[in-house]
Structure 1
Amino acid sequence: MSAEATDPESPDAPGRRRARHRPAVRGLRRIGRAALLGTAGRHGLPDALEHVAKVHRRHHPDADLDILSKAYALAESSHRGQMRKSGEPYITHPLAVTLILAELGAETTTLTASLLHDTVEDTEVTLDQVRERFGSEVCYLVDGVTKLEKVDYGAAAEPETFRKMLVATGNDVRVMSIKLADRLHNMRTLGVMRPEKQARIAKVTRDVLIPLAERLGVQALKTELEDLVFAILHPEEYATTRRLVAEHSVRPDPLAAIAARVRTTLDEARIPAEVLVRPRHFVSVHRVRLARGELTGADLGRLLVLVTEDADCYAVLGELHTCFTPVVSEFKDFIAAPKFNLYQSLHTAVSGEFGQIAETLIRTHQMHRVAEAGVIALGNPYAPTDGSDAPDGERADPTRPGWLSRLLEWQRTTPDPDTFWTSLRDDLAQEGEITVFCTGGPPGGPADGAIGLPAGASCVDAAYARHGEAAHCCLGARVNGRLATLATVLHDGDRLHLLMAPDSATGPAPEWLDHARTPAARLAISRWLSRPPGQESGERPQEPPPPGPAACPGAGAPAEPTPAGVLAVADLPGASVRLAGCCTPVPPDNVTGFAVRGGTVTVHRALCPVVARMAATGRQPVGVRWRCTDRTGHGCRVTLLAEAFSRPHLLADLTEAIAAQGAAVVSAAVEPPHEQRVRHTYTLHLPNVAGLPSLMRAMREVPGVFDVLRAGRGRPTGALRVR
């Protein structure tokens, strides 16, 4: 397969795409010829650098071209005699990479480093020489993209090179800009490689480089890389898509007619705007075909409306929705809420005169530059804006997004290259980014604030993103004020409060891995679970199994004798009294009674569900009052429900809290966990009924317990709770 055959931007591509990229192709061919001839150009620049300089000056009119000329001279002399597999002089490669970056508006330092990006790796030039001639900034960028030697790292060379590059990108995003342009030119000329090597490189490009281009917002590079990978890994689908695009290219373009109507509409509204038909790249056409089946001419592109001010974007939107029939479900506002990769636009869709649907993008010219070039369009993010020198050692990078910070954090704790490589691919496979506002955590932890997470992340991911391995002690969460399990998937803008144990006695359960989406969470949980028994921090001895389930006695069932002095009196002469086991009333509960066989009155709490059921059947209640209203010095029996998040040692901790309050456990039942929640039922004997509120508070303070209430059947309305 030739380079031309795999390049969707080559001169034999269909008409609209060929016209769009013809200047870039001509520029690359001019560079190649100049590199072969080695002639001197005008203005003291080598002829091979003339086109790069012209493009660069278009974006940066005052750029200093002397440093580019010096960098080219060093690169050309260093690479002299080296040839690419295509048969061209090797210098054509750094020149092509530099032109790609110049077209995207990269500043001079980036272009200088791109000219030199292979010198340290492939020639006798050293980093010290680069630093001496071009400064520490250029040296850092060159070092960042220099591969590690296979002779030193063996099979780990590729993953460790990417690790090195990502760490360098964390300090300067321009490192990845150069790498993306380098991979694009290599992919354009991949046809000279063996098919198996083409496939291997294309897969790495698909799994790592394309997601990185997406995250850095460099859509111009991402879309071409996608098409090149598509051609290599899916040649049949690529050929079909290319044929469909070619067939439609010779027909009248329905989008052109709609664009003409939009121009007229905006002219009449006196809104200065540029209206373009923007063709989809092949992968985008393929995705549309899979989603919609048959393609129409309008499916092969979108309208792009460019204006000057942000307010004009909304003015254009108003005119389109007034003068055309809008597809309301297609509207998205990425200006008010930009995407995580800096992208801003208004998206809408309108219906044409004959029913064709035209997807439309509305943005300012500056938004368009950022949409195409992402972080490259921002220039040097470290240059002082006030003319002063930046503080030594400080680089407050406004282009460093949350996903990169997370990636840099978890890679530090992943020394194994294979684990790093797999985790990196998994991390980059996540699409989208959300922001969650997080509170709660262990003492001394990070302050409350916003955290960035991949779309689809759960409370587990948020806990580890916020607290690292201290998240092992997380017991649950409240999401937007409501109790939630750790498996709960978060959404953009959610308010999250993490419930943490006060010490390290707890640890993650194996099922947490099912809910963790980020590598940081998965790696931390896996490390904890893989520790030998007894090595977990603060681990306690294995607790004995809980007692067998002891169901609460039903209404009217025989109850244990009640302690003397805590008896109730029924308004039924001669009747004996017993306290119902379903709700275990104690003074000063409001109570009522019902007569049962044998002349006995069973006493229930007034809000016990059994009372409502018996009244519904026509049973007449019997008045009951407490014989002793003094709440001190009299024992009682009570049944309490503790609802909690499931965790190790919960039963032991609750039993300890109960014992500390002087209560004795008569029986206990633990229901099987459901969605990480568990309910414990305790029948307790208290030496003093006055101690019930403090007992319930003590149980509520046990880590993981979120509710304690007096028992009834189910969850009785109005049950006493302690918060």
Structure 2
Amino acid sequence: MSAEATNPGAPLRRRGRARIDLRRIGRVALLGPASRGRLPDAIGHVADAHRAHYPDADLTILRRAYVLAESSHRGQMRKSGEPYITHPLAVTLILAELGAETTTLTASLLHDTVEDTEVTLDQVREQFGEEVCYLVDGVTKLEKVDYGAAAEPETFRKMLVATGNDVRVMSIKLADRLHNMRTLGVMRPEKQVRIAKVTRDVLIPLAERLGVQALKTELEDLAFAILHPEEYEQTRALIAGSGGSDDPLTEIAERVRATLKDADISAEVLIRPRHFLSVHRVRIKRGELRGTDFGRLLVLVAEDADCYAVLGELHTCFTPVISEFKDFIAAPKFNLYQSLHTAVVGRDGAVAEVLVRTHQMHKVAEAGVVALGNPYTPDSTTAQQSEPAEGERADPTRPGWLSRLLDWQESAPDPDTFWTTLHADLAQDREITVFSTEGGTLGLPAGASCVDAAYAQYGEEAHGCIGAHVNGRLATLSTVLSDGDTVQPLLSRDATSGPSPDWLDHARTAAARIAITGWIDAHPEATQAPVGQPDHPRSQPQPQPQPADEASGGGSKQGARVVSVAVDGPGTAVRLAGCCTPVPPDEVTGFTVRGGAVTVHRRECPAVARMRAAGRPPVAARWNDDGDWREAGECRVTLVAESFGRPRLLADLTEAIATADAAIVSATVEPPSEQRVRHTYTLHIPDAAGLPGLMRAMRDVPGVYDVSRAQHQTTTT
């Protein structure tokens, strides 16, 4: 099998040839459609690409779609000077080369007719059926004359809702944007930048989530060239100067071929060049590029078992870089991607990254959902050809991220809120899976907390959440979840309970943030009740779990004596913020939250600036002066130790903490990065006066170069 046959994205990268084709197509299109019964010359190349994937495809409907598209667009010209029909033809060619089935190609040829010509949806439905009509309607823009500035976000909302019912809508949109980006040079510079930014922030993440890597990588390079022209030119020069007869990747590829041949493993070994943005990212990460950084080895085999046989030979006959090994066959990515990733060391210490996958996995890795054919007709030939392999998602048309997006967009009627939230949601570039104790799984973005899990599982019922069990242990709502955790949110039986504004500090999903913000906006009396007024029915303290890592930071013993009469009397409920864990003699300020309670923060806490910017008035707060602050008693504090990695470092640090009479409530150690390690400890200390000495003791541990108070990240609203 040739490299082109196993790489459906390869023709997309030969843009020079595509442009030559378009000039020819333009001349042919001006002559009008072919005579009755003969396929028009202008779509001959589309037919060839389509039949490469579907040899028995009936091209009659494509001929009829082209005739309607050509006649309705006749006389229209693109800014480049080409007949407009060249655009739908180019979009259709992109999809045909990726392996799209006939219905998608038909809709692609017609995708601009309803928007830019006199053709109506009723005409499309009558001539081509409901399915094609739905796809065309899904990619048709809303009119600016009707929606004004909201036209773009509302068009994307309409398109995403349509994608929820038929994922092929987004396939056509991505191919449409790719061709428009290829020809963006005829636009004004400011319009190029605007379109490139939307492509970067919205279309490229959607291409990633749908697994269409062939489109995603070219879109990335085109946006990179427009938004960062200097870096693009530097990268282009580096790539142009790489390779040659002494290319280390070529030498390693030859050794891999020989190794697999000796092991009697039938495999194709290819050198897969990195695209421009990928090379740029590697250069930023490593500072200086190695000869093997300009590409990766791709090993293609027939069966899943062969992938692991190849891996065994590579790790036996080469020195593997174990930290680079990832198994996305046993655990596929959320966008259908499957491969084994590893890295091996060649001669002279050259390190080559290697991808191992089957031919079918490679097709799906390049074309994503497009490679699945028509997943909505299980009895059709195309569906049988695209039946998901073992381990692939059974319903690729509604992956978890899309279901979440469709859920929260219903709660964001304001176009600006939707557009801002969509950007933030798509910026989450990794997904974790957590298990519910009630059965089933929840797909959440990396960094999601128990707050996010509660809203994902219970919707608005999560307003009454008071804590959670994570892996069988009591945890606060702020607890960040890891891939594979089991989570059980705990709900209050009080029907009047609601979320605290502090929850926004821990919410990462759009659904949770929109639900919390909506409840707070609808209940201002509950979240910002004037101090000293009669208690609101909801203002009684809500039951709170008391796990080992209590989010209030200092606990009730210290909180009861932290704030002066400045908050109108000793009866005011007070808690210390978990985001900055204040202790005496920190300068503090407070904010009124649910039920008139006051949450106290350190003055430099990022949450203070965020709440001030939101217009929430601060409450004067200080440590009680009924005794020296050194007598403030026991408290809880979070410290971060930065150190160089070495043996016994963790043991020495914990010994220093224990010697200072502090108890470790919880601890996390991040994976080493460039020989540096970050430790985070939540500690219970018997006397706040001992905090400076504790921090000095930790700094004295060999290898530790800094110890500081934790300053947790907060998100702005």
TM-score (norm 1): 0.71
Superposition map of 1:67-466 within 5 A: 67-250=61-244, 252-385=246-379, 397-439=395-437, 448-466=439-457
Q: Post-superposition shift, 1:23?
A: 5.4
CA, structure 1 residues 399+106, in 2 after alignment: closer, same or farther (shift >3 Å)? same
Conservation of the 8 A alpha-carbon contact between 1:113 and 1:138: yes
Cα separation, 2, equivalents of 1:676 and 1:235 = 40
Cα separation, 2, equivalents of 1:60 and 1:24 = 22
Name the structure 1 match of 2:575.
672
Larger Rg: 1
Residue of structure 1 aligned with 2:500, choices 509, 516, 519: 509
CA, structure 1 residues 386+209, in 2 after alignment: closer, same or farther (shift >3 Å)? closer
RMSD between superposed Cα atoms in Å: 3.3
Cα separation, 2, equivalents of 1:388 and 1:345 = 24
- The aligned amino acid for 2:474 is L
Aligned-residue sequence identity (percent) comes to: 73
Cα separation, 2, equivalents of 1:414 and 1:545 = 31
- The aligned amino acid for 1:223 is T
Name the structure 2 match of 1:541.
537
Conservation of the 8 A alpha-carbon contact between 1:31 and 1:96: no
Q: Post-superposition shift, 1:248?
A: 1.1
Conservation of the 8 A alpha-carbon contact between 1:643 and 1:677: no
CA, structure 1 residues 534+674, in 2 after alignment: closer, same or farther (shift >3 Å)? closer
Cα separation, 1, equivalents of 2:524 and 2:50 = 62
Question: Is there any run of 5+ residues in structure 1 with no aligned partner, and where?
Answer: 1-15, 391-395, 440-446, 547-640, 652-666, 679-712, 716-723
CA, structure 1 residues 345+389, in 2 after alignment: closer, same or farther (shift >3 Å)? closer
Conservation of the 8 A alpha-carbon contact between 2:373 and 2:382: no
Name the structure 2 match of 1:482.
473
- The aligned amino acid for 1:376 is V
Cα separation, 2, equivalents of 1:263 and 1:673 = 63
- The aligned amino acid for 2:191 is K
Cα separation, 2, equivalents of 1:147 and 1:66 = 28
Name the structure 1 match of 2:58.
64
- The aligned amino acid for 2:517 is S
Conservation of the 8 A alpha-carbon contact between 1:144 and 1:165: yes
CA, structure 1 residues 320+397, in 2 after alignment: closer, same or farther (shift >3 Å)? closer
Deviation per CA, 1:380-424, whole angstroms, max 9, x where unpaired? Answer: 01012378999xxxxx95431000000000101111000000000
Cα separation, 2, equivalents of 1:47 and 1:37 = 10
Deviation per CA, 1:490-546, whole angstroms, max 9, x where unpaired? Answer: 11111001110013222111111011111111111111112244579xx94375899
SS of corresponding position for 2:115: helix
SS of corresponding position for 2:448: coil
Alignment: residue pair count: 544
Cα separation, 2, equivalents of 1:81 and 1:216 = 36
Superposition map of 1:41-52 within 5 A: 44-52=38-46
Cα separation, 1, equivalents of 2:46 and 2:526 = 61
Cα separation, 1, equivalents of 2:18 and 2:248 = 27
Q: Post-superposition shift, 1:297?
A: 2.1
Cα separation, 1, equivalents of 2:373 and 2:338 = 18
CA, structure 1 residues 541+141, in 2 after alignment: closer, same or farther (shift >3 Å)? same
Conservation of the 8 A alpha-carbon contact between 1:381 and 1:399: yes
Cα separation, 2, equivalents of 1:476 and 1:430 = 25
Superposition map of 1:667-706 within 5 A: 672-673=575-576, 675=578
Conservation of the 8 A alpha-carbon contact between 2:467 and 2:489: yes
Conservation of the 8 A alpha-carbon contact between 2:337 and 2:364: yes
Q: Post-superposition shift, 1:302?
A: 0.3
- The aligned amino acid for 1:462 is A
Cα separation, 2, equivalents of 1:228 and 1:120 = 28
Deviation per CA, 1:274-308, whole angstroms, max 9, x where unpaired? Answer: 00000000000000000111112210000000000
Conservation of the 8 A alpha-carbon contact between 1:487 and 1:515: yes
Question: Is there any run of 5+ residues in structure 2 with no aligned partner, and where?
Answer: 1-9, 385-393, 528-534, 557-569, 582-633, 637-717
Deviation per CA, 1:162-213, whole angstroms, max 9, x where unpaired? Answer: 0000000000000000000000000000000000000000000011000000
Cα separation, 1, equivalents of 2:286 and 2:545 = 53
1:518 counterpart = 2:509: yes
SS of corresponding position for 2:429: coil
Q: Post-superposition shift, 1:66?
A: 0.4
Deviation per CA, 1:313-347, whole angstroms, max 9, x where unpaired? Answer: 00000001111111111000000000010000000
Name the structure 1 match of 2:653.
none
- The aligned amino acid for 2:211 is G
Cα separation, 2, equivalents of 1:209 and 1:144 = 15
Q: Post-superposition shift, 1:22?
A: 5.9
Q: Post-superposition shift, 1:676?
A: 9.3
Cα separation, 2, equivalents of 1:417 and 1:271 = 55
Conservation of the 8 A alpha-carbon contact between 1:38 and 1:48: no
CA, structure 1 residues 389+162, in 2 after alignment: closer, same or farther (shift >3 Å)? closer
- The aligned amino acid for 1:206 is R
